[in-house]
Amino acid sequence: MGTHALDKDLDDLALAARTALVREIEASGAWAGDPVWREAFEAVPRHLFVPYYYVGVRGGYERRWGESPDPPTREKWVRGAYADTPLATRLRDGELISSSSQPSLMARMLAELGVEDGDRVLEIGTGTGYNAALLAHRLGDDDLVTTVDLYPDITDAARRHLAAAGYHPLVVTGDGARGVPERAPFDRIIATCTLTSVPPAWVAQCAPGARILTPLATGLLALTVRDTGCAEGRFLDTAAYFVPLRGDGRPEPEPAPLDGIPRRARDHDLFRFLLALTDGGLDPHEAYTLWEREGRPTRDRYGVTIRDGGEWTWLDDPEGPYVWPLPGR
């Protein structure tokens, strides 16, 4: 089989796999509120953004890449590129520093962002560039999308991926916590990396009424910016696990000591979420007592308020009895 025939076979396989992925995302209900995202996921070829990726195997990772000389390996690469799973794309000293997020989670986040025609959008965490391409396709104007990542090798690769797919949003190399002030104000900010608090620069660079959607702890926080320096919102009900936001001297959070906490709580995802939100503001034993008394609250019962230079998380009501400072502030 000649090279051109093989390339066509791979293109056909990619199209079929992309169509199947879109059906899978649609069945999950991810974009029920904004079906225009279906068109974006149908149009943007994910495999162009992951020319190689790593899959976990016993003892480490296996690299899959599209330029492999072995045809079955290339087919496996294409199929994997359209699986509804996150893909590890950058490792440094054995540590994951960048990935392509699970497409159905990306679809839900994009739908929840509430993008409207003409919105100026800032993405924190460029990664492969795939999410920026989806945004550029949805908005129909590359200039409305700005995306930032810390590492030059990541942003350089993302520019190449985006150009190959026919998109040219502004890709900035820098600390995402500082935003991109020269492109402000933004109507929407979306982050694809997890944080322990919301950087003040993001809120400051938003127009009134803007929406910020960001992973925080192991949840997804949706904030509405009220006016300068003020924002408030709740977590979605879904869990979300992302690579941490990295920057100048940004420390990794230390795990809380859980001696004396029953194992059923220590191993419970929702209890650990509460601990992450209240680290430093609530003793783990107090957190356990609260968690049991309040019926093991789900993520969507928590929210965050940003005001007067402070940042607080709360349970059920921002003016209620359960309010704590976020640990990253």
The residues annotated as belonging to the active site are 98
The sign of the CA dihedral 34, 121, 44, 65 is negative
**Three-state SS annotation for 59-128:** CEEEEEECCCCCHHHHHHHHHHHCCCCCEEEEEECCEEEEEECCHHHHHHHHHHHCCCCCCCEEEECCCC
Helices marked H in the chain: 3-28, 36-43, 71-81, 103-113, 130-139, 152-165, 200-204, 263-266, 269-278, 284-293
Measured distance CA(193)–CA(242) in Å, rounded: 5
Residue 33: which residues within 8 A CB-CB, separation 6 or more? 111, 112
